[in-house]
Amino acid sequence: MNISRRTFFSKAGSMVAMLGLLSATRNAFAGWNASAFGAKTVPDVLKDLGNLTLVESPDIILMAPDIAEDGSVVPIEVTSSIPNTQRIDIIAEQNPNPLAASFRFSNGALPFIGTKIKMGKTANVRAIVIADGKAWTAAKMIKVTAGGCGG
């Protein structure tokens, strides 16, 4: 079989790109905490996240609407000015599975997240920031007029 050099390098490049994508996907799920995301209560989530004891902090800015007319797409933004922020978790306290999202930060990364979560009913949404082995939190009550969790 006689293939051109251009074809060979094109196919080899595609294979290398696929291997990189597979590696990146594996690394993305390396921090997946299935038990925390499957937990049914907030105390169970906190236990599965590392037996967290939460301390309220004014250094966490949690931006979310006061009223969510559609609970299936509730925009949330969290900014942490706590030094050495390593993780931000989002909990919707009345959801069937309260842990809605978890984000990890490398050294030097800006500790800011913007996401959309589902909420089944009116509840506190809590941002948890992990920094230097301590857990800090801020919460906001969001009124949901039409639930988005199938309930």
Domain ranges of the chain: 1-30, 34-144
pTM of the model: 0.76
Asked whether 143 and 73 are in contact (CB, 8 A), the reply is no
Residue range 109-125, pLDDT digits in tens: 899 999 999 998 999 99
Measured between its terminal Cα atoms, the distance across the chain in Å is 61
Place of tokens 């979560």: 117
- The domain 34-144 is placed in CATH, from the list 2.60.40.2470, 3.90.226.10, 3.40.50.300, 2.40.110.10, at 2.60.40.2470
The Cα–Cα gap between 78 and 63 comes to 6
Residue range 28-57, pLDDT digits in tens: 445 668 888 899 999 999 999 988 899 999
